[in-house]
Amino acid sequence: MGTVDIADMDITARLAEKKPKVVFVLGGPGSGKGTQCANIVEHFHYTHLSAGDLLRAEIKSGSENGTMIQNMIKEGKIVPSEVTIKLLQKAMLESVNDKFLIDGFPRNEENRAAFEAVTKIKPEFVLVFNCPEEEMERRLLSRNQGREDDNIETVRKRFKVFLESSLPVIEYYKAKGKVREIDAAKPVGEVFEAVKVIFTPEAEKIVFGFITTEKR
Ligand SMILES: Nc1ncnc2c1ncn2[C@@H]1O[C@H](COP(=O)(O)OP(=O)(O)OP(=O)(O)O)[C@@H](O)[C@H]1O
Ligand SMILES: Nc1ccn([C@@H]2O[C@H](COP(=O)(O)O)[C@@H](O)[C@H]2O)c(=O)n1
Ligand SMILES: [Mg+2]
């Protein structure tokens, strides 16, 4: 008979009580997810959780999964969902906030189905940054943040994984009417103008429109 991990049950139950609101942020490698999440945090008071950042922190912490995660990242492969989901659950529980931007997750069908099965959380919506591959490649190769996966060999593998494994997840949410798409090839400020429209509540947009009309 399998054993029941009390710690895992506890974390899942406590997170369910918290009822977190989640927006998934997806897009190709280098499309600008992290850059725009920082802007959203500043303007709309979300907490940004990058799955990639959490995995990199796990490597640095000297965890028993560290070597496996490092090898997967170097190859541009997707780490088993169980590992990433636990990191995301823990980060959501530890935060005082209840609004989260989950950046770079779900990256494949396994990530998506496992997250839903374990947490029962469905995203409010899914923000998708669209950017041509040549532009993403330019950005990644000049990012200069010392990432082991920002080299041309790994970048090509990451693009392949995005096309084969991540695009089907976006299609899944599109079919559910949950996707909000952004043209991410534009300069950072212009991209954020488009992002703002999506995060601004409808009521505020109407009030703003009313005030500007009144002043004329
Ligand atoms: N709209 C933009 N125009 C030009 N450069 C940008 C734009 N957005 C982000 N960048 C730059 O491109 C690089 C990649 O951006 P960022 O780290 O936000 O992408 P990402 O989608 O999070 O990538 P990854 O999937 O690899 O984590 C960074 O150096 C960033 O400064
Ligand atoms: N759900 C995820 C997200 C990321 N990874 C691994 O991390 C790498 C870097 O991710 P970024 O979002 O920071 O670009 C990615 O290439 C994967 O190797 C993952 O396994 N699962
Ligand atoms: Mg990123």
Query: 85: Cβ below 6 Å to ligand 2?
Result: no
Q: How many domains does the chain have?
A: 1
Angle at CA 129, nearest 5°, toward 124 and 130?
A: 135
Asked whether residue 166 is assigned to any structural domain, the reply reads: yes
From start to end of the chain, where are the E strands?
A: 21-27, 47-50, 99-103, 125-130, 179-183
Structure tokens at 70: 């490092």
Q: Which residues pair with 5 in a beta bridge?
A: none
Asked whether residue 202 is assigned to any structural domain, the reply reads: yes
Contacts of 15 (CB under 8 A, 6+ apart): 89, 92, 93, 119, 121
Tell me which residue has its CA closest to atom 4 in ligand 2: 52
Structure tokens at 153: 């060999």
Question: What is the CATH classification number for the domain harbouring 93?
Answer: 3.40.50.300
Three-state secondary structure string covering 164-200: HHHHHHHHHHHHCCCEEEEECCCCHHHHHHHHHHHHC
Enter the ipTM. 0.99
CA distance 104 to 212: 38
Q: Express each pLDDT in 16-71 by its tens digit.
A: 999 999 999 999 999 999 999 999 999 999 999 999 999 999 999 999 999 999 99
State the pLDDT at residue 23.
98
Asked whether residue 216 is assigned to any structural domain, the reply reads: no
Angle at CA 31, nearest 5°, toward 61 and 97?
A: 55
Q: Which domain holds residue 20?
A: 2-208
Q: Write down the mean pLDDT value for the chain.
A: 94
Contacts of 97 (CB under 8 A, 6+ apart): 45, 46, 47
Query: 178: Cβ below 6 Å to ligand 1?
Result: no
pTM: 0.94
Asked whether residue 215 is assigned to any structural domain, the reply reads: no
Tell me which residue has its CA closest to atom 10 in ligand 1: 32
Query: 28: Cβ below 6 Å to ligand 1?
Result: no
Asked whether residue 214 is assigned to any structural domain, the reply reads: no
